[in-house]
Structure 1
Amino acid sequence: MQKKTPIKPLTHLGDLPVQDFLRDYWQKKPLFIKNALANWQAPLDSNELAGLALEDSVESRLIIEQTCKNPLNSQWQLEHGPLPEERFATLPPSHFTLLIQALDQICPEAHDLLQQFKFLPHWRVDDIMASIAPIGGSVGPHFDYYDVFLLQGTGSRRWQIGQSCSEQSPLLTDCPLKILTEFDTQAQYLAQPGDLLYIPANIAHWGIGATDDCTTYSIGFRAPSYSDILLDLSQDIASELSADIRYRDPENLPANLGGEITQQVVEQIAERCRNYFTPARVGQWLGCHLTEEKRCSPDITTGEFNTDHLVMTANTRAAYTVNPDTPAPPNIGHHLHHHNAPPDSTTINQKPQATVFINGQSWQTSLTLACALCNYTAIEPQHYSADDCAVINQWIDHGYLNLP
């Protein structure tokens, strides 16, 4: 079998250099790029995508709009898959959308597409969702709390870009979807195959199928809320604190305080709590939380995933942190996230310098192995130390690495 050329991160979005995009648009404002991926072809047609909604292990949703004279007052129906095959014979001729989640775990070509967007922090990448719609098909005017790239696969879709939104933005009541009741159109685009629309978090958008063979691929990026971070992290810390660790009054306690909670007490407790939220503890929580699988992995694929050398399986998420107590070896540093060369003799014998997180678990490895794993660089065990090889074997046993 001929080796497949590794997919590399994009350097340009259309004619726009990635660095210019990151400086001027990322998390700032929407951007529509004509022919952003001019040579890209959608790996699956609408019928093949729709067939995935029949599978028990594939997360899918069917959304049907009952239109009104005022489109902001439409009624919406939501059905979760798997769908019975006969359901497709009863669908209306227009104004419905079928959504397929985690397509990158199902379709090798979709998984390759995901790699191209790793010019952004790898741990932010979520998944690829496919949207299939006839004319009029839509999920309604809405906003998301995450950044998203919308790549047109087949057919065409008309997009409207609206206002900046928040949790205070009015939504339809008694609706299974978070549909906005107000929409201030600020830009409109007609997306055709290869066109790409970037939408920052909290920006309203509304995409409507303009042809009967409209498929759109959505590349989303995780963005945990600070309320979730504080809740989960504090619970994680509290679960490991002994019941013997309790409040004690400060020394030289004044007499006759009565019911007063003194500022000294407040500051003492606040300082004690702050001391638990160390950078190391936050990094450990982030690594585990952001690599956890958010949905069950599909047990169906549309083709064979590339297994040259040892590269992560499609349902594996990984990230790493550099251990602050171990200095980087010569010529090795944070820049290694761009490093794809095999490790040299100066790196293979180094002590563990990174914490690697895979699907919510953590390991200690060399920084070189951590970088190679998270860059989908070929991992050849003979280039690594005995300690690293022991970890590699654990990853193989867990099913995290593909065997060649």
Structure 2
Amino acid sequence: MKNDFSWIISPCAKTSFLQDYFEQNILHIKRNDLHSFDQCSSLDIVAAWLANAVDPVPYQVVLEDNTTTLAAARYMHIRALPGNVRLNYGIDIETVFRLFSEGKVNIAFKNIQGQLPMLDDLTAALTEELNCSCESQLYFTPPTGVPTYPRYETADMFILQITGSRKWKIYQGPISLPLPSQANQPFDLSQQSLIHQCITQPGDTLYIPRGFIWESFPLEQTAVFAAVKFTFPTYLRLILDILKDIGNTAGTLRETAFLNDLEDNNSLKKAANLLGEKIETQFNTTTFDNLSGKRRPPHNRPSSCDPQTLKAMLTALASLHAND
């Protein structure tokens, strides 16, 4: 079995996914195959991870209730070091199992690179094929307990239901296509529109675009699911990268902006025109096509930056900095 992009969205075709769902809509793929993700994890692996985490390990064990992430002091051994330094050196296994068995917490494993070959292969394939950065997390949830707390994602995400079943509610978020820097945007869930509900069974995939809010509920089954998050370069990120290069090569843009120049607008127009020309030139390069075009159907790839698009991008950029 090839753990790549086509596999994770099958039987949905790649072109259909990119045109109809990517960055737009939730997609729930029902596979009716209980063993699709058998290689991802098992309860034995989860138990071993918890047992090993009583000592320092490369991954992170995090406990969550239905409102937030629990403070480490509630379930970890913490050692005080000189200089008012506190070191987490392993979980309190009895506390973790007690809270979990009482249904008070869900367990999340983060920074799990190198722990599960199947997930490592999948994230490597997504990174290569989609030109994105990926990270994966694993969640272990009790059969009767608290839901996951509502969270707002700034990365696109695939949920892989490995064992058990979960109910999902997905809401419209406060910002469309948010940047990573907007991760802490506050929201009132009661004011957000519920746009999708579903139940995932073992083998199912659930795609949630960035900017949406999600929460997940137990269905009287111990469940394990993986969250594979992936982040792409945005137009804004490419513009900011280009601006760094332009600043090093265009002397006109490094000239002092005197107030009288701004008032008569000539120097400002000259600088703006030069900036627009250089950005448009960069947007026509093979480098840009390689960065942004690999994840889109051929007819959706931007072959050039038309004046209207360029103006909109520059206006958005100026507005962003004006609000800083």
Shorter-chain TM band: 0.5 to 0.7
8 Å contact 2:140–2:223 — kept in the other structure? yes
3-state SS in 2 of match to 1:99: strand
**What CA distance in whole angstroms lies between the structure 2 residues aligned with 1:233 and 1:139?**
40
Do structure 1's residue 77 and structure 2's residue 70 form an aligned pair? yes
1:218, distance to aligned residue in structure 2 (A): 0.9
RMSD over aligned CA atoms reads: 4.3
Rg larger for: 1
Q: TM-score, normalised by structure 1?
A: 0.52
Point out which structure has higher relative CO (alpha carbons under 8 A, 6+ apart). Answer: 2
Matches within 5 A, 1:151-230: 151-166=160-175, 180-182=188-190, 183-211=192-220, 213-223=222-232
Residue of structure 2 equivalent to 1:88: 96
Q: Unpaired runs of 5+ in structure 1?
A: 66-73, 170-175, 250-256, 288-319, 323-333, 335-404
3-state SS in 1 of match to 2:131: helix
3-state SS in 1 of match to 2:268: helix
Residue of structure 2 equivalent to 1:101: 110
AA matched with 1:30: I
8 Å contact 1:155–1:212 — kept in the other structure? yes
Shift in alpha-carbon separation, 1:63–1:7, aligned structure 2, 3 A: closer
**What CA distance in whole angstroms lies between the structure 2 residues aligned with 1:112 and 1:186?**
32
Matches within 5 A, 1:3-402: 7=3, 9-10=5-6, 13-35=9-31, 38-40=34-36, 41=38, 42-45=40-43, 46-51=46-51, 53-54=53-54, 55-65=56-66, 74=67, 77-79=70-72, 83-86=90-93, 87-91=95-99, 93-114=102-123, 117=126, 121-134=129-142, 135-166=144-175, 180-182=188-190, 183-211=192-220, 213-223=222-232, 234=243, 238=247, 240=248, 246-247=254-255, 261-274=263-276, 277=279, 279=282
CA offsets 1:325-370 (integer angstroms, 9 cap, x no match): xxxxxxxxx9xxxxxxxxxxxxxxxxxxxxxxxxxxxxxxxxxxxx
CA offsets 1:73-118 (integer angstroms, 9 cap, x no match): x566343976423442452511312222343432212223435657
1:29, distance to aligned residue in structure 2 (A): 0.8
**What CA distance in whole angstroms lies between the structure 2 residues aligned with 1:236 and 1:244?**
13
**What CA distance in whole angstroms lies between the structure 2 residues aligned with 1:269 and 1:210?**
60
1:275, distance to aligned residue in structure 2 (A): 5.6
**What CA distance in whole angstroms lies between the structure 1 residues aligned with 2:261 and 2:224?**
66
Identity %: 18
**What CA distance in whole angstroms lies between the structure 1 residues aligned with 2:71 and 2:194?**
25
**What CA distance in whole angstroms lies between the structure 2 residues aligned with 1:283 and 1:62?**
45
**What CA distance in whole angstroms lies between the structure 2 residues aligned with 1:154 and 1:129?**
15
**What CA distance in whole angstroms lies between the structure 2 residues aligned with 1:258 and 1:113?**
57
The number of residue pairs the alignment matches comes to 262
AA matched with 1:266: L
8 Å contact 1:149–1:197 — kept in the other structure? yes
AA matched with 1:270: A
Q: TM-score, normalised by structure 2?
A: 0.63
AA matched with 1:185: L
AA matched with 1:158: K
